[in-house]
Structure 1
Amino acid sequence: MRRRSFIGMTAAAIASPAFALDSGSSGRIETIPEFSDASSVVPRVRVFLPSGYDSNEQRYKTLYMLDGQFAFEGDSDGINFEADRRVTRLMDAGTIQPTMIVAIDNLGDDRFLQYMPESIYERASPELRSTVEREIERVGATSLSSNVFIEFLQRQLKPFIDANYRTSSDRLDAAIFGASMAGVMSGAIFVEAQETFGLGASMSPNWAIYDERFIDHPSLPEVWRDYFSALGPPEGRRFWLDHGTEMMDAGMVPHQLAIAESMTNLGWRRGCNLQTRVYDAGHAYAQTAFQMDELLAWLLA
């Protein structure tokens, strides 16, 4: 699935402020009105609270999901992660710890500006910079906005969630997740906001920064390798990487290998702190994210 096709899906459903889940799921979803006017950063933030949240005093892990329009069952005419249903099922089975979800909508046509890491652009070759600048110009903008988004997560959203919900404030109980270009951004957040998020997952990430021409940039794997070296030793953190073997995912191999090598050199051990998966499949959304259960079970155990 091309990134533009994915962006076209972002004209998805607008949820009501709060509603009960159906089809056997349980819990509730709340829209946070405090951020409804922050459309220049995020158009909408929703929180999924599992069944039992109101009847106990325990603290919850928190899964922050980018591309929040596609987080929950019923979103986007059924093309979504069903994260509410999956988390409920895994919690009921005792596979994962009690977890709430924060779904953060993307900026629609400006999604690339929000999810393209400015730090990578600054390190990039002239050829890659041209690719990025072409996309910036295509949406009529003059610059990327990913640094603003990361600061928003760290300085506004997460403090608000921790102050208003029963979350664990430990970074090892806070996860950031994204797929496709949002998978690139979740990786960048894991690197650049590592004091905030101790768990991370990049599903089918577009490490190659493909545009519609699908041109490879030979220097980019080394850029990613150096970038992830800023993580340092794991210190209890966990990071999930996956990609498919078909469609645009086939081009992610050298980048994914470079990132994994950088992390293992820092002491991240596969299966313990670092999980890598290769699926005989295509891009995450084209496959309706069938690997999601495995990802959540490992990340939130």
Structure 2
Amino acid sequence: MPRSLLFARIETLDDRWPNQSPRIRIWLPPGYDMDMRRYPVLYVLDGQWAFADDAEGANFAVDTRMAQLADAGRVEPHLIVAIDNLGDERFVQYMPQAIYDGASDTVRAVVERDLARVGADRLRSASFIAWLEGELKPYVDTRYRTRPGRLDTAIFGASVAGVMAGAIFVEAQGSFGRGACMSPNWPIYDERMIDHAGLAEQWADYFAQIGAPGGRRLWLDHGTQMMDAGMAPYQFAIAGRLAQLGWERGEHLRTEVYHAGHAFAQTAYQMDDLLGWLLA
């Protein structure tokens, strides 16, 4: 552990948005209380797994990784906003409404089965994006010393939260200029692990809404094992469409394939790479 990490601390926000997240924590980097500088911000979905002491070690350890990267001079110190998911309603919270609205009947049926499984009558993802951009981010920018511009604001998520991180990057593009999607479940698999005709093209069309890069950065990755093996066509389609819009690989867009499994199974392989590139 970096010695400087001893001077970091975590604050928990008061419970004012229980319908969006049961808990929101803010990691304040070493030095935050010692000067008046302003900091860029990384928002982390599935926030209950964000920090090194979370979930008995099954976590992203973003706090220790951030401190190590900052100590090495690879990134600036960031505030980290960890937003817990809604538990059983995680899919309801993170499945993009816009994709459901434009999807085929087979995709919509998969989504509707998952809604029924948890007793929900609708997706809550559109309201989550609106809340994140319209309420939580302004609150954080007012209460803490942040640099609020979109190029200083990043969003990260894994698996279906990786899908939501992509949706936030698209639909809240005025506020979030850096995005990372780890093992995103673009295929929206059901129990049969089927491929849906036209869905990859739908995702590519969806991402085309972001236009030219304008200094932004987007990270996409997937593994070669487990369910991740089926994600390659989606990543290829999205990256290809962005390339047509001027997103240069290595500068604005980074796509990686890891010889590992899904999300947490491959986290140790990539988080330093991801954060070091995304936040540089």
Q: TM-score, normalised by structure 1?
A: 0.90
Contact 1:63 1:177 survives alignment (8 Å): yes
Give the CA deviation at 1:22: 9.6
- Identify the residue that residue 5 of structure 2 maps to in structure 1: 25
Give the CA deviation at 1:295: 0.3
Farther off after superposition, 82-91 or 212-221: 212-221
- Identify the residue that residue 153 of structure 1 maps to in structure 2: 132
Give the CA deviation at 1:213: 2.3
Contact 2:150 2:177 survives alignment (8 Å): yes
> Which structure 1 residue ranges, 5 or more long, are not aligned?
1-20
Work out whether 1:216 is the aligned partner of 2:195. Answer: yes
Contact 2:2 2:67 survives alignment (8 Å): no
CA distance in 2, matches of 1:98, 1:139: 39
CA distance in 1, matches of 2:163, 2:116: 20
Q: In 2 relative to 1, CA 80–152 (structure 1 residues): closer, same or farther, beyond 3 Å?
A: same
Contact 2:21 2:83 survives alignment (8 Å): yes
SS of residue in 2 equivalent to 1:144? coil
Contact 1:72 1:80 survives alignment (8 Å): yes
- Give the aligned residue type for 1:32: L
Instruction: Give the alignment of 1:3-82 within 5 angstroms.
Output: 25-26=5-6, 27-33=8-14, 36-82=15-61
Contact 1:191 1:230 survives alignment (8 Å): yes
- Identify the residue that residue 112 of structure 1 maps to in structure 2: 91
Instruction: Give the alignment of 1:1-301 within 5 angstroms.
Output: 25-26=5-6, 27-33=8-14, 36-301=15-280
> Which structure 2 residue ranges, 5 or more long, are not aligned?
none
CA distance in 2, matches of 1:65, 1:128: 27
SS of residue in 1 equivalent to 2:114? helix
| CA RMSD, Structure 1 to Structure 2 (Å) | 1.3
Give the CA deviation at 1:37: 4.1
Contact 2:2 2:68 survives alignment (8 Å): no
Moved over 2 A (4+): 21-26, 286-290
Contact 2:75 2:276 survives alignment (8 Å): yes
Contact 2:24 2:83 survives alignment (8 Å): yes
CA distance in 1, matches of 2:39, 2:178: 14
SS of residue in 2 equivalent to 1:136? helix
Give the CA deviation at 1:38: 2.1
CA distance in 2, matches of 1:196, 1:227: 18
- Identify the residue that residue 12 of structure 1 maps to in structure 2: none
Percentage of identical aligned residues: 59
Residues 133-183 of structure 1, C-alpha deviation per residue, up to 9 Å, x if partnerless?
000011001000000100110111000000011110111000000000000
Q: TM-score, normalised by structure 2?
A: 0.97
Equivalent pairs, count: 279
Residues 212-243 of structure 1, C-alpha deviation per residue, up to 9 Å, x if partnerless?
22121121001001101101000000000010
Contact 2:5 2:29 survives alignment (8 Å): no
Give the CA deviation at 1:24: 7.5
